[in-house]
Amino acid sequence: SAVISQKPSRDICQRGTSLTIQCQVDSQVTMMFWYRQQPGQSLTLIATANQGSEATYESGFVIDKFPISRPNLTFSTLTVSNMSPEDSSIYLCSVDTSNTGELFFGEGSRLTVL
């Protein structure tokens, strides 16, 4: 397993601004993922962030809107850029400690855009 800490846990932002979410893991992991969970919905993969390479984005998500950094094996950030109310969601960081698909999740960052 892994202990995953996300910051901020929640925030209220103004339209047009950007917010960076931090994800810290208590152990070194190769595979890290960012998910979005819109209100009352399931989890949708935004991108895979592996250390030492560019993040890989899923269909419907682009780097200009959701830039990701992965400077080392225990840390990653996701930025939500030029926010609109439609970006109001929970953003979740997850890690695969054994490269087998067994993902552990942080508590999420609940973002409200006004």
Partner 1 sequence: GENVEQHPSTLSVQEGDSAVIKCTYSDSASNYFPWYKQELGKGPQLIIDIRSNVGEKKDQRIAVTLNKTAKHFSLHITETQPEDSAVYFCAAFGNEKLTFGTGTRLTIIP
Q: Which residues bind partner 1 (CB under 8 A)?
A: 4, 31, 33, 41-45, 48, 92, 100-108, 110
When the beta carbons of 30 and 84 are compared against partner 1, the nearer one is: 30
Q: How far is the CB of 92 from partner 1 (least distance, A)?
A: 6
When the beta carbons of 68 and 106 are compared against partner 1, the nearer one is: 106
The closest of 58, 19, 8 to 35, measured between CA atoms, is: 58
Q: How far is the CB of 99 from partner 1 (least distance, A)?
A: 9
Alpha-carbon distance of 25 to 70, in angstroms, equals 12
When the beta carbons of 56 and 82 are compared against partner 1, the nearer one is: 56
33: number of CA atoms within 13 Å, CB side? 17
Alpha-carbon distance of 62 to 47, in angstroms, equals 9
Q: How far is the CB of 96 from partner 1 (least distance, A)?
A: 8
When the beta carbons of 18 and 100 are compared against partner 1, the nearer one is: 100
Task: Provide the greatest CA pair distance for the chain.
Answer: 39
Cβ atoms of 73 and 96 closer than 8 Å: no
